[in-house]
């Protein structure tokens, strides 16, 4: 399986994502600069890493969401390819309209960087199928604008459509409904603030994040590899 790790000016978790896929997962990965003329057709999954794209000017992820390469990312998502946005990548997906809602500054207006316990709310998606229902896992967070917000109607739709992938066991940032990660309605786009790529080896603290990437691979092999 071939992963593209998208790199914007200001991305700083792209190498973490790259080595998580290439070394810990053992799959093919390439760092892909954000230029408009880059062709993403040959990649099986797209990963938008964390960082501070364009310095978080205007809003986190706002400028990156207007890059020409987003047209290809949206096209890939429409075709059903897995698209994962982590931290700033999640913010980019929200700003681009691939996921509903918006990000606000953390409730206490402080940058947070530590491990958080999450609850797996939906283990039936292509990103979570290696987890048990309601399993508790530990992943690191590192964000200043991680307070997920949506209106009540949107939140009810997220619940009804099982689009809430992860919640915080002890909400650190004020997110609506303790939300830590959400899916699009089709189930092939996941945005999450915690960093699974920073929890793929015991040396990093635990391997709880590795199963997210393994879920993508097993789903792809079950559904697409025969025709690839």
Which residues belong to the active site?
A: 87, 195, 197
Report the DSSP pairing between strands 83-86 and 45-48. Answer: parallel
Beta carbons of 188 and 80 less than 8 angstroms apart: yes
Report the DSSP pairing between strands 147-149 and 102-104. Answer: antiparallel
Helix or strand (DSSP H, E) at 28: strand 28-33
User: By C-alpha distance, which of 196, 189, 136 is closest to 161?
Assistant: 189
DSSP code string of 190-218: EEESS-GGGSSBGGGTBSTTHHHHHHHHH
DSSP code string of 119-142: EES--SSTTTTTSPTT-EEEEEEE
**The two three-digit tokens of residue 71, written as one number:** 């047209």
The span from the CA of 199 to the CA of 69, in Å, is 28
SS3 for 71? helix
56-72 burial: b if 16+ Cβ within 10 Å, else e: beeebbbbbbebebbeb
């Amino acid at each position: 399986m071939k992963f593209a790790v998208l790199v914007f000016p200001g991305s700083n978790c792209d190498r973490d994502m790259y080595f998580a896929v290439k070394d810990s997962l053992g799959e093919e990965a390439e760092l892909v600069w954000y230029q408009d003329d880059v062709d993403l057709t040959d990649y099986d999954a797209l990963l938008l890493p964390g960082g501070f794209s364009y310095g978080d000017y205007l809003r986190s992820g706002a400028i990156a969401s207007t890059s020409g390469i987003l047209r290809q990312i949206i096209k890939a998502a429409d075709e059903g390819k897995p698209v994962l946005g982590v931290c700033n990548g999640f913010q980019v997906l929200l700003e681009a309209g691939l996921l509903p809602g918006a990000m606000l500054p953390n409730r206490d207006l402080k940058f947070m960087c530590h491990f958080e316990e999450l609850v797996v709310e939906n283990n039936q998606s292509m990103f979570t199928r290696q987890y048990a229902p309601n399993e508790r896992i530990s992943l690191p967070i590192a964000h200043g604008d991680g307070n997920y917000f949506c209106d009540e109607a949107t939140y009810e739709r997220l619940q009804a459509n099982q689009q809430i992938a992860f919640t915080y066991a002890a909400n650190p940032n004020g997110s609506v409904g303790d939300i830590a990660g959400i899916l699009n309605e089709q189930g092939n786009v996941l945005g999450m603030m915690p960093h699974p790529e920073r929890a793929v080896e015991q040396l990093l603290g635990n391997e709880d994040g590795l199963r997210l990437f393994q879920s993508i691979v097993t789903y792809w092999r079950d559904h697409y590899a025969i025709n690839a």
